[in-house]
Every structure is written in structure tokens, then in C-alpha cells.
A = this chain, B = another copy of it.
């Protein structure tokens, strides 16, 4: 699944940082589109997007399932969606004691923001 372009860097950076030029600069090639679409797709679900914003805006820049209660879905569903966001390279996670804490790598937002930069 992700064994070719291995780097020492975390998956997040590998998946995102060198991804793609701004969408207004030139057409993406197939590989770039594949890569970037994975991120967009992960955010293309309302519940996942709420969870992502919840983690991204949470105190200290990280949150665990234990911090999340008001998105209208069960805790297993929250965990499932957080895992999907992680698989897409949008979140990183770290287990501490009972809970897994999720965090958005700033490089992800920077890379996606760059993709969406309008032509000057």
C-alpha cells in the first residue's frame, strides 16, 4: 500500500509535503491526483470533516476519542473515522495510556492550502 517511495519522514510528510503544485498552476498528473484525491476524499464526509476540525482546533492541537462526544455518532464510529483520517495521512496518532491521541500535522494543512492557492 505504501512501500515504494519510503522516506524516513513520517507518513504525513511523505504523503503530502512533496505532493502537488497549486491546482491553478498546471494540470495534475495521474499520480499527483491520486495522492491529493485521497486527502480530499477523507475530508469529503461531514462527520469526518467535523472530527478533523475538532482535532485541528483542539487545545494543544491534539484530541482523543475521550474528548469527542457531540458529533452525533457512537465512539466506535468516531474511532473508525479517525483511523480513516490517519490512513489518508491527515492525522498522526500516539497511544498514551488508555487512549490514542490524534494530531494534525501542520504540513498537511500547509500542503492542502497550497494546492488550493489561487493564481496571483
Contacts and interface: CB of A to CB of B under 8 A. Distances in A.
A74 B108 CA distance: 33
B50 A44 contact: no
A25 B53 CA distance: 8
Interface string A34-62: 10111011111111111011101100010
A50 B41 CA distance: 14
Q: Does more than half of chain A's interface fall in helix, strand or loop, or is it mixed?
A: helix
Given A109-B118, A112-B116, A113-B117, A27 B41 contact: no
Interface string A8-36: 00000000000000011111111001101
- As for how many copies of this chain the complex holds, the number is 2
A100 interface: no
Contacts of A72: 30
A109 B41 contact: no
B53 A27 contact: yes
23 contacts: A23-B53, A23-B57, A24-B53, A24-B57, A26-B53, A27-B57, A28-B53, A30-B50, A33-B46, A33-B50, A37-B44, A40-B41, A40-B44, A41-B45, A42-B44, A43-B44, A44-B44, A56-B119, A109-B116, A109-B117, A109-B118, A110-B118, A113-B117
